[in-house]
Structures are given as C-alpha cells and as structure tokens.
Amino acid sequence: MHYNAAVMNYVKIYFLMLCCGILLSGCHLENCGRSGSGSSGPSDGFIEISYELGQTPGVAPSYQTVVWLEDANGAYLKSVLVSEYLAYGGHRKPKICSTWSRISNWGSVSRSEFDAVTAATPDIGQNTVIINCKEQNLSPGVYYYCVQTHIISDYNILYRGRIKIGKENVESVAKVEYIPGKCEGAENALGNVKAKYYR
C-alpha cells in the first residue's frame, strides 16, 4: 500500500512538471511580463547634456561643436548634434573636432540621421541637447557622452562623462581634455559640461 502511494505521488509530480514545461515552452520573455529596466528594450527616459561656450578675448574660435554617445566600452555609438559646417564637409578636415572626425565615419550616415542631428553653430552661453532614449533605441545601461569644440588650427577641447540610464534619475559631470594642449586664452571656450538622466 505504502509503495503504491509513493509511486502515485512520483507520477503526479512528474505529470505536473511535464505540464509546466509545456506551458513555459510557449511563453516568450517579451510576452511574460518582462518589461522596464529588466528588459533589453529601450529606456523610456531622457538624457539631457548641457555645455557652455565661453568668450575668449584675443582668440577667435570657430566654435564648431559636436556631441556624441559611446557605449559602455567606449566605442562610438552615434552623434546627437553636429554643427552645420562639420556636417557639410568640415568632418573631412581632421583638425576640426579631431576626435569625432576620426571615429564617426560621418560621410556614410543616412540622410535621416544627417537631418536629425545637424544644427547651426551653437551660441555663446549655455546650450542643451535632449536625447529621447526610446526614440534613439538606448537600452538601460552605461554610456559615455562627449562634447568637442574646435578652437583654432588643431586646437580642440573635449569633455567626456559617464552616465547610467535605468530606474533612477542621475547626474554626471564630464572631465576635460585639451587637444593637443591648451590654447592660451581659449581655455574657457568650452566648459561646464554635464548630463542628467531622468524619467
């Protein structure tokens, strides 16, 4: 009697496991309630990148400016703002926004991307770029934001910062690099570069 009862219990458990396996095999992750920051889909938040172009007495910068994103490994991802001169041919001059010109492969972008990010040369003072993560297909995770402004000749200023997008609102302050070094009198041509992610 006890032996038969134990066998019946094992049969019941096996049957239940088999049924669960059949049910689960037809349930794909995207249809099983997996969403939000736990999914690989795009975030529903925004990245706001702000920067300031400053006056430079005695120096006349071109102020050609570009803003772009890199992935968590520091590989170029996409441009989000490109000054008109750069967009319409200046990218072929490697001294102008040299870092971006080297990595962006701008000459092969689609017309829709070109139109979406090309803009007039930014004004002196505070400027802001807002990125819709969903529209740009940016999944939750770590990104780097970069802002580069051309001064004169081969002098450029590059700011780079790290931002994480996910469940929490966060802020970030970028670090500066002068390429190939500081241009005397133009150190403040670009500054106060920061970003925030919010939902």
pLDDT score for 29:
32
pLDDT of 21 > 50? The answer is: no
Decide: helix, strand or coil at residue 92.
Answer: helix
Ranges 6-15, 73-82, 110-119: which has the least confidence: 6-15
pLDDT score for 146:
98
Name the residue with tokens 């400027």. 127
pLDDT of 68 > 70? The answer is: yes
Question: Over the chain, what is the mean pLDDT?
Answer: 86
pLDDT of 32 > 80? The answer is: no
What is the spatial distance between Cα 148 and Cα 71, in angstroms, rounded to a whole number? 17
Q: Which of 129, 147, 145, 128 is nearest to 63 (CA)?
A: 147
Provide the b/e sequence for 162-198 (b: ≥16 CB within 10 Å): bbebbeeebebebeeeebeeebeebbebbbebbbebe
Decide: helix, strand or coil at residue 68.
Answer: strand
> Any idea where the domains of the chain sit in the sequence?
2-31, 39-198
With cut-offs at 50, 70 and 90, classify the pLDDT of residue 41. Answer: confident
What is the spatial distance between Cα 161 and Cα 148, in angstroms, rounded to a whole number? 12
What is the spatial distance between Cα 37 and Cα 165, in angstroms, rounded to a whole number? 9
Ranges 24-33, 88-97, 129-138: which has the least confidence: 24-33
* Predicted confidence (pLDDT) per residue in 129-182, tens digit: 999 999 999 999 999 999 999 999 999 999 999 999 999 999 999 999 999 999
